[in-house]
């Protein structure tokens, strides 16, 4: 394992994965890291779904592109311009399904914390990743009910976020530049 702060600084959004699979034990460790995420009032309104099944990933890719094309032609063309891969050839995907909650603490906040834990765990283990909301188009499109079944969503749960995982095809990318002007310090 590596230093957490170094991992935070080194993590980047990988948008081109090689065909190298993520070992099952590594994927399990990454998924389990998501379960360690804190949640408001400890409600844990999530299910962490780890997927390596190539047919399930292909179904998600196909449904996502179709739903995106029907919903947002501009974004669809942008994806086509990047090689036409919604999932960037990811070899594994963590889908975080969320339980809709009433009250002052929406599930989306907790789901975001899970995604951060998963992404940092992946980075610490040398697995590249990108946190991706675009697969949400597939789950909300016409194929959504079948996909939620295929991905074993519990009854009443919806897509929260996904983290695409694998090993970079080619040279690793670079992290985004931080803007220290966005930091407000009050002493």
pLDDT at 57: 98
Residue 168's DSSP bridge partners are: 17
For 4-170, which CATH class?
A: alpha beta
Mean pLDDT by 10 residues, the chain (187 residues): 80 92 98 96 95 98 95 93 92 97 86 97 96 95 96 97 96 88 93
Number of neighbours of residue 50 by Cβ within 10 angstroms? 19
pLDDT at 2: 56
pLDDT at 100: 92
CB-based contacts of 93, cutoff 8 Å, min separation 6: 50, 51, 57, 60, 87, 135, 162, 163, 164, 165
């Amino acid at each position: 394992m590596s230093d957490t702060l170094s991992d935070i600084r080194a993590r980047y959004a990988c948008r081109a994965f090689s065909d190298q699979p993520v070992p099952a034990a590594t994927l399990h460790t990454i998924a389990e890291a998501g379960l360690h995420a804190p949640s408001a009032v400890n409600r844990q309104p999530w299910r962490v779904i780890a997927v390596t099944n190539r047919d399930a990933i292909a179904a998600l890719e196909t449904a996502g592109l179709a739903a995106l094309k029907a919903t947002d032609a501009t974004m669809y063309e942008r994806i086509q311009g990047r090689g036409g891969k919604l999932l960037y050839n990811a070899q594994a995907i963590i889908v975080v399904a969320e339980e809709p909650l009433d009250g002052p603490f929406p599930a989306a906040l907790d789901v975001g914390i899970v995604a951060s834990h998963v992404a940092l765990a992946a980075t610490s283990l040398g697995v590249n990743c990108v946190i991706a909301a675009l697969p949400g188009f597939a789950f909300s499109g016409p194929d959504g009910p079948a996909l939620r079944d295929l991905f074993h969503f519990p009854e009443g749960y919806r897509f929260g976020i996904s983290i695409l995982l694998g090993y970079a095809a080619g040279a690793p990318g670079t992290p985004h530049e931080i803007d220290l002007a966005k930091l407000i310090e009050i002493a």
